[in-house]
């Protein structure tokens, strides 16, 4: 169980377990972000989770769990052509999960959180201003209208994998990849993916304080077959 009496200690322990080094400033920003969610949840209807201890595990720790796996994937995404700052699009971001957590912990990543609900996109803009995060922005739009290019497109508890990649495909840059956060291994969703999309890894996650299953489905556009 998470010790909500000392969220700072709980956060430190979780970050260590997840191999995510945090500065004092980053740890403070993560907890300040959680407080912003709690403060504005009634107004913006950001999350169904109301208990602060559950927010810590279900939101912060859950999002922190993808950072080390993402960093392992990034060098292969663009190799020598990798831009100075990786561009990541977080689709259906809602309260900013995992987008805001990524922006706080990974200053090398420029994060755009897109949501079709205007007040949720406005909340992300408010978080970016309050926490002084120049690498974070909230965008009120339908993902189908975006063209990017983004190096990484992420989602958490969003639509089916087929809808996710279909709606966001135009925004994915050359050599980029999709990172879909899921619960149990979504075998049926993987089987329903459209042609031209390759699942190159399904990575199981262990989230401190959370017994539920979690995984990341990593996908990319299939390389064209060489002429025979």
* 97's tokens: 């999960």
Is a pLDDT exceeding 50 seen at residue 227?
Answer: no
Please give the pLDDT value at position 5: 56
- Write b or e for each residue in 181-219: b if 16 or more Cβ atoms lie within 10 A of its Cβ, otherwise e: bbeeebeebbeebeeebebeebeebebbbbeeebbbbbb
pLDDT per residue over 13-35, tens digit each? 999 999 999 999 999 999 999 99
Percent of the chain with pLDDT over 90: 75
Average pLDDT in the chain:
90
Residue 102 has pLDDT above 60, yes or no: yes
Q: What is residue 79's predicted lDDT score, i.e. its pLDDT?
A: 47
- The residue extents of the domains of the chain are 1-228
- How would you write the chain as a 3-class SS string? CCCCCCHHHHHHHHHHHCCCCCCHHHHHHHHHHHHHHHHHHHHHCCCCCCCHHHHHHHHHHHHHCCHHHHHHHHHHHHHHHCCCCEEEEEECCCCCCCHHHHHHHCCCEEEEEEECCHHHHHHHHHHHHHCCCCCEEEEECCHHHCCCCEEEEEEECCCCHHHHHHHHHHHEEEEEEEEEEECCCCHHHHHCCCCCEEEEEEEEECCCCCCCCEEEEEEEECCCCCCC
Which pLDDT score is estimated for 80? Answer: 44
pLDDT at 135: 97
Task: Report the pLDDT averaged over residues 168-177.
Answer: 96
Look at residue 226 in the predicted model and tell me its pLDDT. Answer: 42
Peptide bond into 94 cis (omega under 30): no
C-alpha–C-alpha distance, residues 144 and 164, integer Å = 10
Q: Measured between alpha carbons, how far is 47 from 25 in angstroms, rounded to an integer?
A: 25
What is residue 1's predicted lDDT score, i.e. its pLDDT?
Answer: 44
Whole-prediction pTM value?
A: 0.91
pLDDT tens readout for residues 173-199: 999 999 999 999 999 999 999 999 999
Q: Which of 189, 192, 176 is nearest to 217 (CA)?
A: 189
- Whose structure tokens read 């556009």? 221
Residue closest to 82 by CA, chosen among 10, 134, 19, 152: 152
* Backbone angle region of 51, left / alpha / beta, with phi > 0 → left and psi within -120 to 50 → alpha: beta
Mean pLDDT of 32-51: 86
Fold for the domain defined by 1-228:
Rossmann fold (3.40.50)
Q: What pLDDT, on a 0 to 100 scale, did the predictor assign at position 49?
A: 80
Compute the half-sphere exposure of residue 34: CA atoms within 13 Å on the CB side of its CA.
24
Confidence of residue 78 (pLDDT cuts 50, 70, 90): very low
- pLDDT class for 148, splitting at 50, 70, 90? confident
């Amino acid at each position: 169980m998470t010790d909500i009496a000392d969220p700072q200690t709980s956060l430190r322990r979780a970050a260590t377990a997840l191999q995510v080094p945090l500065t004092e400033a980053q740890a403070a920003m993560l907890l300040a972000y959680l407080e912003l969610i709690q403060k504005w949840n009634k107004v913006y209807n950001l999350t169904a989770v109301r208990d602060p201890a559950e927010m810590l595990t279900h939101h912060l720790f859950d999002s922190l769990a993808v950072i080390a796996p993402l960093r392992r994937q990034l060098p292969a995404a663009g190799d020598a052509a990798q831009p100075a700052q990786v561009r990541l699009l977080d689709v259906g971001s809602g309260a900013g999960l995992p987008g805001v957590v990524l922006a706080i912990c990974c200053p090398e990543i420029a994060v755009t959180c897109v949501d079709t609900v205007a007040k949720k996109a406005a909340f992300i803009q408010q978080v970016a201003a309050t926490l002084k995060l120049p690498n974070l922005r909230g965008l009120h739009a339908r993902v189908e209208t975006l063209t990017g290019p983004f190096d990484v497109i992420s989602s958490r508890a969003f639509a089916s994998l087929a809808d996710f990649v279909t709606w966001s495909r135009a925004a994915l840059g050359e050599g980029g990849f999709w990172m879909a956060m899921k619960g149990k291994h979504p075998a049926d969703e993987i089987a329903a993916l459209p042609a031209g999309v390759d699942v190159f890894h399904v990575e199981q996650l262990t989230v401190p304080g959370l017994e539920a299953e979690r995984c990341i489905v990593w996908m990319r556009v299939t390389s064209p077959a060489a002429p025979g």
